[in-house]
A and B are shown apart, each in its own frame.
Chain A
């Protein structure tokens, strides 16, 4: 493409637009206006394409089994809550509640544990940094880079030996170690945002550590702590491999239940969709609430 092509429409811009554009931003926005409509349409089409499986999952979950399994699809079919009733065991007798409660327990408690361990660590890595704190940061990161499969056999053997198989507490410890490195990285980047001047001022005024933490650090770090907690919750809620290997009947989590549920129930499409909606709901809510923080957490705090 030559330089002429875009120059031509620019010449066509009415002089008035130029005159009103002493602010360069205003002018540069004038130019791509037409592109923006096209970009908007393209973005919307792609957004709908990407969301289609999710929307289809939600729609199908409200269909009856006969309407769900048709070719071509019956989009206008009557809506019903049958699949949800079925999933919650009103007719089949297999209740998903124990699995959902296990997932909630494992996710929430491991998140609390992660925060208890990560916040002091992040403090020691940002506000009053230890020597060689970057090395420590990279050690944390490196543990995240080790695939779970490389350590799962010893963990399984250990759990079997001490009788911790199918025990939710062991899973909680595993989830804590899984999320701790991410949490430390995230928390450090949040605590690093506490202005040094404020800390110095507090020190000069003779504020003790607790007061400094409460009055200066906590207000800045609170949103970060919330975001970190959300991400740890999501990761624990989603986890399948560890739960599959380390739990069974008693401590099985929702993802484990879901895999067993499908093979045990055969193919009931509406019910599978209802199940998928139910177990995704907490993550969908949490994720939409913290879209930006999600990236930051996943990119280990490297992207702001």
Chain B
């Protein structure tokens, strides 16, 4: 950038009309550089930023589409409702619980799997491919399979296996689970952990494979225990990959709609904010309220995203410095 500018401004100094020509050329060059960027930038601003500004405006309005004559400015009323209404407050709580538990569980299991897959063994490629499968099933389809083929209390696979195992011991009264009605949030969490663990595993595996092996080998030569190597070499190296996986996972899982919609339809305290917002505007037609809830999600995501940005930024800087 600087070299280019220097090269262009130099002949300007010698010319009769010194700076003006050079400056306009410089400006033209800058625009020539920007031009390829503009379509994408403008498109995104129009399609994502403008609607959010409108959401922000609607969030301060009293607007139920079923009674359009009562539409008026409402101040912070909607926000007060979002934070005090038991259902919406429950949805905030559910969103946090769901996101945190799914991210942590899939990170821990994903780390375990990544460490296993980092070793050489027969059929490693195939095992990895099998492990990725949960991530590749279309989310709605995955949720349907969990609901009907696995967790169904009468003929789901899980109860089926329980029946089979118990019958091996001659028992006709096996324990049967009904997770969907007894612990519905648990059902959602399990299916999401199943789906997101492969993602964490792949990120962490990429981290493990970029680990400088010479230090590990040196430590091994010095007689360090595997645990010490893991604790003092592997884990610090993986840190930013763990952060990246966790924060990206959080951003995707906060927004989860498919699993909640399909598995429980938001029943029994499983409605997270995306689902609650969908219901508030799609069925209850409470536009103001839905918008306020949407803004609350964005504020929450910004908090998470600030950390995410920092992590991504550190990876990014590393690359830029290369």
- With the chains together, A32 CA to B120 CA distance in Å? 10
Q: What residues of A have a CB within 8 angstroms of the CB of B55 in the complex?
A: 150-151, 153-154
Query: Which of A82-90, A220-228, A287-295 forms contacts with chain B?
Result: A287-295
Most interface-central of A24, A47, A144, A173 (chain B CB within 10 A): A47
Does B30 count as interface, using CB distance less than 8 angstroms?
yes
Q: Are B48 and A6 in contact, CB atoms less than 8 angstroms apart?
A: no
Whether, in the assembled complex, A162 has its beta carbon less than 8 Å from a beta carbon of chain B, the answer is: no
Instruction: Give 1 or 0 for each of B194-219: 1 = CB within 8 Å of chain A CB.
Output: 10011100110011001001001100
Is B104 part of the binding interface, using a Cβ–Cβ cutoff of 8 Å? no
Q: Is A167 located at the chain interface by the 8 A CB criterion?
A: no
CB pair B290–A40 under 8 Å, yes or no, is: no
A interface majority secondary structure: helix
Are B297 and A302 neighbours in the complex by a CB distance under 8 Å?
no
Q: What is the chain B residue whose CB lies nearest that of A267?
A: B148
* A138 part of interface (Cβ distance < 8 Å): yes
Query: Is the CB of B133 closer than 8 A to any CB of chain A?
Result: yes
Pick from B13-21, B77-85, B150-158, B181-189 the stretch touching chain A. B150-158
* A238 contacts across to B, CB distance below 8 A: 138-140
Q: Write the A54-82 contact mask toward B (1 if CB under 8 angstroms, else 0).
A: 10110010000000111111000000000
| Minimum CB–CB distance for B319 against chain A, Å | 7
Q: Is the CB of A117 within 8 A of B122?
A: no
Query: How far apart sit A262 and B149, CA to CA, in the bound complex (Å)?
Result: 13
The answer to whether B298 touches A291, judged by C-beta atoms less than 8 angstroms apart, is no
Interchain CA distance A180-B164 in the complex, whole Å: 49
Task: Convert B22-42 into 0s and 1s, putting 1 for each residue whose CB lies closer than 8 angstroms to a CB of A.
Answer: 000000001001111101110
Quick one: closest A residue to B298, CB to CB? A150
Residues of A within 8 A of B122 (CB): 40
* A233 CA to B139 CA, complexed, in Å: 14
Evaluate contact between B133 and A304: CB separation under 8 angstroms.
no
Q: Is A35 an interface residue (CB 8 A)?
A: yes
Closest to B137 in A: A280
Alpha-carbon distance A142/B164, docked complex (angstroms)? 50
Q: Which of A35, A44, A299 contacts B127 (CB 8 A)?
A: A44
Residues of the A chain whose Cβ atoms lie less than 8 Å from the Cβ of B282? 245
A269 at interface, CB cutoff 8 A: yes
Are B51 and A121 in contact (CB-based, < 8 A)?
A: no
| Contact (A32, B217) CB under 8 Å given A70-B160, A288-B132, A300-B248 | no
Q: Does B119 contact A (CB under 8 A)?
A: yes
Closest to B136 in A: A287
* Given the contacts A6-B226, A238-B139, A150 and B43 also touching, CB distance less than 8 Å: no
**Chain B residue, CB-CB nearest to A123:** B36
**CA–CA, A155 to B132, complex, Å?**
34
CA–CA, A241 and B308, complex, Å: 24
Contacts of B223 in A (CB 8 A): 3, 6-7, 10
- Indicate whether B266 reaches chain A with its CB closer than 8 angstroms: no
Q: Are the CB atoms of A241 and B274 closer together than 8 Å?
A: yes
Query: Please, how many angstroms separate the alpha-carbon atoms of A237 and B139 in the complex?
Result: 10
With a CB–CB cut-off of 8 A, which chain B residues contact A121?
36-37, 39-41
Q: Give bound CA distance, A48 to B129, whole Å.
A: 11
A259 within 8 A of B: yes
- CB of A198 within 8 A of chain B? no
B154: nearest residue on chain A (CB-CB)? A71
Which among A37, A147, A241, A284 has the highest number of chain B CB atoms within 10 Å? A147
Q: Does B180 contact A (CB under 8 A)?
A: no
Q: A31-B220, A54-B134, A56-B150 are in contact. Are A149 and B145 (CB under 8 A)?
A: no
Is residue B131 within 8 Å, beta carbon to beta carbon, of the partner chain?
yes
Taking the complex as formed, is B169 at the interface, i.e. its CB lies under 8 A from any CB of chain A? no
Is B291 part of the binding interface, using a Cβ–Cβ cutoff of 8 Å?
yes
B192, chain A: closest CB distance, angstroms: 13
Q: Which residues of A contact B179 (CB under 8 A)?
A: none
Q: Which of B119, B145, B203, B308 contacts A32 (CB 8 A)?
A: B119
Q: Top 4 closest A-B pairs, CB basis?
A: A40-B121, A120-B36, A276-B141, A154-B54
A124-B33, A138-B313 given; 15 more Cβ-contact pairs under 8 Å: A36-B120, A39-B119, A47-B128, A51-B133, A51-B134, A53-B150, A54-B134, A69-B154, A72-B163, A124-B34, A156-B281, A258-B144, A275-B144, A276-B142, A283-B137
Could you list 26 examples of A-B contacts with CB < 8 Å? Answer: A24-B221, A43-B116, A46-B131, A69-B155, A124-B33, A137-B316, A140-B40, A145-B301, A145-B308, A149-B278, A150-B55, A150-B298, A153-B58, A153-B294, A154-B52, A180-B40, A238-B139, A241-B258, A241-B278, A244-B278, A255-B139, A276-B144, A294-B135, A295-B203, A298-B248, A302-B244
